[in-house]
């Protein structure tokens, strides 16, 4: 089945998604495919249709985010002549054309509310009417929807109808991003290399160990779509027997030099059984703050050493005041910035499959044990105040950057103020 539909990978997340495809394909149930942009949601929708009883009928694909709001209803349900400006003849919509087959509604979260009402009626009754007509038509169509948004959040924000959400999400099929299935990265990359090598009649260069490690450490914000793009470039633009990490860096977004694009490592694992997720987020923020403070302490020690050396008759310091400034214009490895995405994990990938631990994130040549770390409370306070200053005291933007709610941020600021008054 994977060869048939071009789904490459053997990770647990992919196996689970394929099992779900097998379970629902033979039924008439509505399926909502969730996943980030570029993970290949359309491939899974195609697999569901081709394994169903409707495979001899067409599956029409519609990207709800690519059609203007004023035309989406006529595209879905058709329109009578004169229904709107430019409607010079009657036209059939997707639900009429796909009768007996399937419709794949990609980016369903972008559908306007007016069209959502009409879509819900079709899903419930199988009935619809063309724009500009009062005649009721019937259709037998299976709907497979896809989104890169959290529709539950969209419902709370009033941008998506709650009744339609429950109707679409009868079965949810989650397609994991590449960063959650790193064991699939190299097989997918080599698959694309082979395909493009045949297309362009060119031999695909092999990846050396450093190139493989870089691909595995890269976070792939564009997922498979980005991986496909990089693989195609290596086949067309790189000449030689093998590819090194330095050859690959120019083609990875945000990575232009050995030190560029290096950033913080997310904590492994998620919420515990008794944790609703908030505690995990706060622990991650505290850990990031510790890493940032460790970097600042190291920079400060280096700067003081330069000043001491100059005072003892060493190399002259042309601008001593500048040495005591944390240079925001120069990239620092452990700096946390909400305005710049982190694309490479600053830790070696364990090829033997062993889990990474926090000690691997700390360089061996840094005597971390000799540095006095701040308390968790101080680290959290420093991170919150730094974020507030960065966003000019805009609490909404600050809360979004820190990954917490505005209510949580308000409570923590209140605690900080009370602690300041006590001091």
Say which residues have a Cβ less than 8 Å from residue 266's Cβ, sequence separation at least 6. Answer: 284, 345
pTM of the model: 0.61
**pLDDT at position 112:** 92
Tell me how far apart the alpha carbons of residues 108 and 125 are, in angstroms, rounded to a whole number: 20
**pLDDT at position 270:** 42
**pLDDT at position 418:** 76
Q: Which pairing describes strands 127-128 and 137-138: parallel, antiparallel, or unpaired?
A: antiparallel
Q: Which pairing describes strands 206-207 and 102-106: parallel, antiparallel, or unpaired?
A: unpaired
Which domains occur in the chain, in start order? Answer: 2-176 (3.40.50.300), 180-253 (1.10.8.60), 278-422 (no CATH)
**pLDDT at position 289:** 62
Query: Which stretches of the chain drop beneath a pLDDT of 70?
Result: 83-88, 254-303, 305-373, 421-423
**pLDDT at position 412:** 83
Alpha carbons within 13 angstroms on the beta-carbon side of residue 195 total: 14
**pLDDT at position 282:** 61
**pLDDT at position 403:** 78
Q: Is 149 helix (H, G, I), strand (E, B) or coil?
A: coil
Backbone angles phi, psi at 249, to 5 degrees: -50, -45
**pLDDT at position 167:** 94
**pLDDT at position 344:** 64
CB 59 within 8 A of CB 49: yes
Q: DSSP string spanning 150-177?
A: -HHHHHHTTSS-HHHHHHHTTEEEE---
**pLDDT at position 150:** 92
**pLDDT at position 411:** 81
Q: What is the pLDDT of residues 269-279, one digit of tens each?
A: 444 444 444 45
């Amino acid at each position: 089945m994977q060869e048939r539909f071009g789904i490459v990978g053997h990770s647990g997340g992919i196996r689970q998604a394929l099992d779900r495809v097998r379970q629902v394909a033979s039924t008439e149930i509505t399926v909502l495919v969730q996943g980030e942009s570029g993970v290949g949601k359309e491939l899974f929708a195609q697999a569901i249709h081709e394994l169903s009883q409707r495979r001899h009928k067409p599956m029409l694909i519609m990207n709800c985010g690519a059609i203007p709001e004023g035309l989406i209803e006529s595209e879905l349900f058709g329109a009578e002549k004169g229904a709107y400006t430019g409607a010079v003849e009657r036209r059939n919509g997707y639900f009429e054309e796909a009768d007996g087959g399937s419709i794949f509604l990609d980016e369903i979260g972008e559908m306007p509310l007016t069209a959502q009402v009409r879509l819900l009626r079709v899903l419930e009754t199988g009935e619809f009417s063309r724009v500009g007509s009062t005649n009721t038509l019937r259709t037998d169509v299976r709907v497979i929807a896809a989104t890169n948004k959290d529709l539950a959040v969209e419902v709370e924000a009033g941008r998506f109808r709650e009744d339609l959400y429950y109707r679409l999400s009868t079965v949810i099929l989650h397609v994991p991003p590449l960063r959650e299935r790193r064991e699939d990265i190299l097989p997918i990359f080599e698959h694309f290399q082979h395909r493009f090598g045949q297309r362009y009649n060119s031999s695909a260069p092999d990846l050396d160990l450093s190139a493989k490690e870089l691909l595995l450490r890269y976070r792939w914000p564009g997922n498979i779509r980005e991986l496909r793009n990089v693989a195609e470039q290596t086949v067309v633009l790189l000449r030689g027997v093998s590819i090194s990490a330095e050859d690959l860096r120019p083609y990875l977004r945000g990575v232009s030099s050995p030190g560029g694009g290096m950033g913080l490592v997310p904590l492994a694992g998620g919420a515990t059984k008794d944790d609703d997720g908030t505690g995990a987020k706060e622990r991650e923020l505290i850990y990031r703050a510790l890493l940032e403070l460790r970097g600042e302490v190291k920079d400060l020690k280096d700067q003081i050493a330069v000043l001491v050396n100059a005072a003892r008759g060493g190399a002259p310091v042309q601008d001593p005041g500048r040495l005591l400034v944390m240079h925001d214009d120069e990239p620092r490895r452990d700096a946390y910035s909400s305005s710049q995405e982190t694309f490479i994990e600053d830790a070696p990938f364990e090829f033997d499959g062993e889990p990474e631990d926090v000690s691997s994130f700390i360089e061996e040549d840094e005597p971390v044990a000799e540095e006095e770390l701040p308390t968790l409370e101080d680290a959290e306070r420093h991170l919150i105040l730094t974020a507030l200053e960065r966003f000019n005291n805009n609490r909404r933007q600050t809360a979004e950057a820190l990954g917490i709610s505005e209510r949580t941020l308000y409570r923590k600021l209140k605690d900080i103020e009370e602690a300041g008054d006590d001091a």
